[in-house]
């Protein structure tokens, strides 16, 4: 595996920073009207195709740094570019079409036909995808998953039954991955590739406060017909199927969630410095502490991304990075609001938006408590040295 040099990552960061201003122009409009995502994001100057992260055989026009293609398929590339883009607007980046989390499951489990079906569609036209794990009654705990993959009543083929909730881009997606139980226990959970135009598939946007552009949705699956050709990882042993791929996907995506939170924190920090040129001594002291934390968390996120690229089976640093970045985003956005006095959230709509967005990262990809359990387990398994534990 190639290791990116600091110079290369620096150039990648500069490239991301150039896009951030383009993303910012859509920020408040997308927050007010998430249904306008296609109009706002696809028809402007943002090179969204280059940001999708398609594999080499499907990426016609990848991002290039010093003439070298960057596919954004490595976690370390993603955290550098997406942090900068999130300084523009995290919700807008998450609302772009492309593989996102479901692509990781496809990369882990799909056979050649499934891979062609999935990536060809994404390469040909703007297509949003979804990752359907969380459920209304059982959250994202696989042990309680109630969505089932079962034989059709007439014995011909299979159907999916169940409800998924808080699914990003669900209502605008063309296809995605549904996790469903085929047998008892966590190992009985299977990943299924589903086109959203199948009969019995309904997606309804949910009213949310943070990251509204992502359009979290509820998916209702009522005897949605599928075949064995839609089942990902078919024929693999149970320990290498649905939950295995989901865990590796979470481990790879948590540093990315952390980088989004970091981008929002940095945006709030920059906003204070740009709009409050004269800070009191105590305010300056507070902002200096935040500046130090931004640097420290950025280093942790980068290290977590490197770890995820090396071994997606180990999510210890990914959890640590997500805890730290989320906490920083929440504290910094609230502190930024304080710098502008009463009515700040009314007078400064971007600050108001960032406070709401920062809170969403706490829940996305598992809450802080779940991440702390992950760090503790990693520590007990000797995956962290004492001085790196969160
Ligand atoms: C912006 C956003 C995007 C999302 N995108 C997706 C998506 O695309 N697809 C998808 O499937 N889901 C998605 N989700 C859902 C998300 O993954 C879940 O909300 C998250 O994992 C939390 O799970 P939960 O809602 O079941 O909460 P729970 O896990 O039920 O947690 C509820 C509370 O109990 C606490 N808790 C739970 N277990 C423990 C424990 N063992 N010890 C101590 N405390 C505990 C938690 O910390 C929390 O405070 C998204 C959520 C958000 C906010």
Counting residues of the chain whose pLDDT is more than 90, the rounded percentage is: 84
pLDDT tens column, 144-184:
899 999 999 888 899 999 999 999 999 999 999 999 999 98
Ligand 1 atom at minimal distance to the Cα of residue 100: 8
Q: Whose CA is nearest to atom 14 of ligand 1?
A: 166
Q: Are 94 and 172 in contact (CB under 8 A)?
A: no
Between 120 and 277, the higher pLDDT residue: 120
pLDDT of 377 over the 60 cut: yes
Q: Which secondary-structure segment (H or E) carries 92?
A: helix 75-94
User: Domain of 44?
Assistant: 6-96
Site to probe by mutation for ligand 1, drawn from 369, 372, 375, 376 as the one with most ligand atoms within 8 Å of Cβ, is 369
Expressed in angstroms and rounded, the spacing between residue 52 Cα and the centre of ligand 1 is 25
87 falls within a domain: yes
Q: What is the mean pLDDT of residues 52-79?
A: 92
Single residue among 39, 72, 96 that ends a domain in this structure: 96
103 falls within a domain: no
Ligand 1 atom at minimal distance to the Cα of residue 169: 8
Same domain, 37 and 88: yes
Structure tokens belonging to residue 240: 């290498």
Same domain, 48 and 68: yes
The CATH code of the domain that includes 312 is 1.20.140.10
- Label residue 274 exposed, middle or buried (CB < 10 Å: 0-12, 13-18, 19+): exposed
**Residue 66, pLDDT score:** 84
**Residue 280, pLDDT score:** 94
SS (H, E, C) 230-292: HEECCCCCHHHCHHHHHHHHHHHHHHHHHHHHHHHHHHHHHHHHHHCCCCCHHHHHHHHHHHH
- Label residue 18 exposed, middle or buried (CB < 10 Å: 0-12, 13-18, 19+): exposed
- Bridge partners for 159 per DSSP: 150, 225
102 falls within a domain: no
Same domain, 225 and 292: no
CA distances from 18 to 22, 88, 304, 358 (A): 8, 10, 25, 23
pLDDT of 326 over the 70 cut: yes
For the chain, how many residues are written?
Answer: 390
Q: Which secondary-structure segment (H or E) carries 318?
A: helix 316-338
1 falls within a domain: no
Structure tokens belonging to residue 100: 């996102």
Q: Are 43 and 261 in contact (CB under 8 A)?
A: no
Expressed in angstroms and rounded, the spacing between residue 141 Cα and the centre of ligand 1 is 9
**Residue 339, pLDDT score:** 95
**Residue 390, pLDDT score:** 44
Q: What is the mean pLDDT of residues 36-48?
A: 91
How many degrees, rounded to 5, is the angle at CA 249 between CA 247 and CA 253?
120
pLDDT of 243 over the 70 cut: yes
Nearest to residue 103, comparing CAs of 193, 208, 26? 193
Same domain, 217 and 353: no
Counting residues of the chain whose pLDDT is more than 70, the rounded percentage is: 98
**Residue 387, pLDDT score:** 52
191 falls within a domain: yes
Expressed in angstroms and rounded, the spacing between residue 42 Cα and the centre of ligand 1 is 30
**Residue 142, pLDDT score:** 79
- Find the DSSP H helices in 25-67: 27-32, 37-42
Same domain, 263 and 377: yes
Q: Are 68 and 195 in contact (CB under 8 A)?
A: no
- How far apart, in whole angstroms, are the C-alpha atoms of residue 347 and residue 230? 50
The CATH code of the domain that includes 131 is 2.40.110.10
pLDDT tens column, 266-304:
999 999 999 998 999 999 999 999 999 999 999 999 999
Q: Whose CA is nearest to atom 44 of ligand 1?
A: 369
Q: Whose CA is nearest to atom 2 of ligand 1?
A: 364
Q: What is the mean pLDDT of residues 17-41?
A: 94
Nearest to residue 213, comparing CAs of 181, 172, 185, 178? 172
pLDDT of 388 over the 80 cut: no
Structurally, how many domains does the chain consist of? Answer: 3
Q: Would you place residue 1 in the very low, low, confident or very high pLDDT band (cuts 50, 70, 90)?
A: low
Structure tokens belonging to residue 340: 């502008």
Expressed in angstroms and rounded, the spacing between residue 246 Cα and the centre of ligand 1 is 14
> What is the rounded average pLDDT for all residues in the chain?
94
Ligand 1 atom at minimal distance to the Cα of residue 367: 47
Expressed in angstroms and rounded, the spacing between residue 385 Cα and the centre of ligand 1 is 28
Same domain, 269 and 307: yes
* Ramachandran angles phi, psi of 178, nearest 5°: -110, 130
Q: What is the mean pLDDT of residues 86-95?
A: 97
**Residue 141, pLDDT score:** 81
Site to probe by mutation for ligand 1, drawn from 254, 364, 366, 368 as the one with most ligand atoms within 8 Å of Cβ, is 364
101 falls within a domain: no
Q: What is the mean pLDDT of residues 350-366?
A: 96
18 falls within a domain: yes
- 96-101-107-112 Cα dihedral, nearest 10 degrees: -60
Query: What DSSP character marks residue 390?
Result: -
Lowest mean pLDDT among 87-96, 152-161, 197-206: 152-161
pLDDT tens column, 95-115:
999 998 999 999 999 999 999
Site to probe by mutation for ligand 1, drawn from 95, 326, 363 as the one with most ligand atoms within 8 Å of Cβ, is 363
**Residue 389, pLDDT score:** 45
88 falls within a domain: yes
- How far apart, in whole angstroms, are the C-alpha atoms of residue 99 and residue 322? 21
Q: Are 210 and 273 in contact (CB under 8 A)?
A: no
Q: How many CB atoms lie within 10 A of CB 31?
A: 21
Report the pocket of ligand 1 as residue ranges, CB < 6 Å: 131-134, 139-140, 164, 166-168, 211, 214, 216, 360, 363-367, 369-370
Structure tokens belonging to residue 143: 């042990």
């Amino acid at each position: 595996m190639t290791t990116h040099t600091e110079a290369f990552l620096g150039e990648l960061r500069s490239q991301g920073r150039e896009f951030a201003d383009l993303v910012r122009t859509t920020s408040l409009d997308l927050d007010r009207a998430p249904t306008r995502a296609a109009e706002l994001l696809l028809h402007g100057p943002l090179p969204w195709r280059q940001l999708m992260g398609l594999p080499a055989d499907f990426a016609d026009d990848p991002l290039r740094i010093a003439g070298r293609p960057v596919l954004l398929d490595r976690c370390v590339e993603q955290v550098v570019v997406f942090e900068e883009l999130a300084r523009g607007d995290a919700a807008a980046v998450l609302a772009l079409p492309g593989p996102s989390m479901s692509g990781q499951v496809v990369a882990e489990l799909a056979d050649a036909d499934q891979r062609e079906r999935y990536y060809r569609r994404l390469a040909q036209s703007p297509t949003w995808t979804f990752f359907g794990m969380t459920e209304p009654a059982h959250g994202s705990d696989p042990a309680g998953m109630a969505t089932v993959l079962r034989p059709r009543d007439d014995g011909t083929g299979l159907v999916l039954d169940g409800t998924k909730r808080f699914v990003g881009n669900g209502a605008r997606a063309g296809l995605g991955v549904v996790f469903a139980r085929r047998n008892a226990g966590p190992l009985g959970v299977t990943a299924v590739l589903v086109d959203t135009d199948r009969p019995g598939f309904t997606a309804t946007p949910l009213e949310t406060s943070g990251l509204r552009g992502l359009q979290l949705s509820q998916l209702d699956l009522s005897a949605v017909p599928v075949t064995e050709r839609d089942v990902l990882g078919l024929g693999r042993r149970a320990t290498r199927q649905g939950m295995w791929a989901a865990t590796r996907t979470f481990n790879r995506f948590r540093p990315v969630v952390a980088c989004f939170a970091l981008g929002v924190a940095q945006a709030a920090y920059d906003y204070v410095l740009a709009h409050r040129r004269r800070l009191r001594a105590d305010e300056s002291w507070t902002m200096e502490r935040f500046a130090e934390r931004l640097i420290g968390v950025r280093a942790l996120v980068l290290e977590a991304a490197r770890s995820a690229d090396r071994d997606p089976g180990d999510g210890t640093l990914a959890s640590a990075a997500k805890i730290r970045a989320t906490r920083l985003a929440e504290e910094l956005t609230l502190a930024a609001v304080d710098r502008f006095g009463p009515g700040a959230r009314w007078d400064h709509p971007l600050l108001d938006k960032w406070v709401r967005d920062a809170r969403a990262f706490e829940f996305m990809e598992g809450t802080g408590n779940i991440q702390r359990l992950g760090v503790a387990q990693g520590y007990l398994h000797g995956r962290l040295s004492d001085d790196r534990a969160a």
